[in-house]
Amino acid sequence: MFTSNVDGHFQNAGFDPLRIDECHGSIHRLQCLVPCSPALWPASGLQPAVDETRCELLGPLPACPHCGAVARPNILMFDDYGWVEERRALQAARCRGWLDQVRRPVVIEIGAGLNIPTVRHFAHRVVLRHGGSLIRINPREADPGSMPGIGIPAGALETLTAIDALLGRKQA
């Protein structure tokens, strides 16, 4: 599972955490803003109190336990030279290791747009490098272009549900 989502929903949905590559990091980990070290720690301990009317954080900002600087989410932002990438690098290495064992993969690309094409580039690399094919599910930008494969101009849930039903019918 290669995802640009940072919300951890794949883990929550039961996917094996060792088989998820979060290319933009995770909102569930914090890091030092400096950063003074590559250390990450769980964001679960952060329970910010917010003045909803004034849209202001009440109380102190979260701090790095090592140097006291402000902590930040371990999410890759634009022009972000302070992102601690070690955790993601490990995920990417595991993903590459798995892909090296796969022949002719079918890449199902879901809802990956053109504005931030990280996921699309990854899908293209996998298809080209491993001789696979692409199923692009996207309601607005489904054209697979020069990639071997098909585009399905529809939403993710309805498409996956339909594919699942067709596969179930074939196996019955």
Which residues form the interface with Zn ion (CB under 5 A)?
32, 36, 64, 66-67, 69
Least Å distance, CB 114 to Zn ion, is 36
Return the number of the residue (62 or 132) whose C-beta is nearest Zn ion: 62
Least Å distance, CB 56 to Zn ion, is 24
Least Å distance, CB 53 to Zn ion, is 32
3-class secondary-structure state, position 165: helix
Closest Cα to residue 40, out of 57, 9, 12, 64? 64
DSSP secondary structure string, 55-113? TEEESPPPB-TTT-PBEEEEE--TT-S----HHHHHHHHHHHHHHTT-SS-EEEEES--
Least Å distance, CB 74 to Zn ion, is 13
Residues contacting residue 65 through CB under 8 Å, at least 6 positions apart: 41
Return the number of the residue (32 or 135) whose C-beta is nearest Zn ion: 32
Return the number of the residue (67 or 128) whose C-beta is nearest Zn ion: 67
Determine which helix (DSSP H) or strand (DSSP E) holds 119, and give its type and residue range. Answer: helix 118-130
Return the number of the residue (10 or 41) whose C-beta is nearest Zn ion: 41
Number of Cβ within a 10 Å radius of residue 84: 20
Least Å distance, CB 85 to Zn ion, is 16
Cβ 134 vs Cβ 127: under 8 Å: yes
Return the number of the residue (30 or 64) whose C-beta is nearest Zn ion: 64
d(CA 130, CA 105): 7
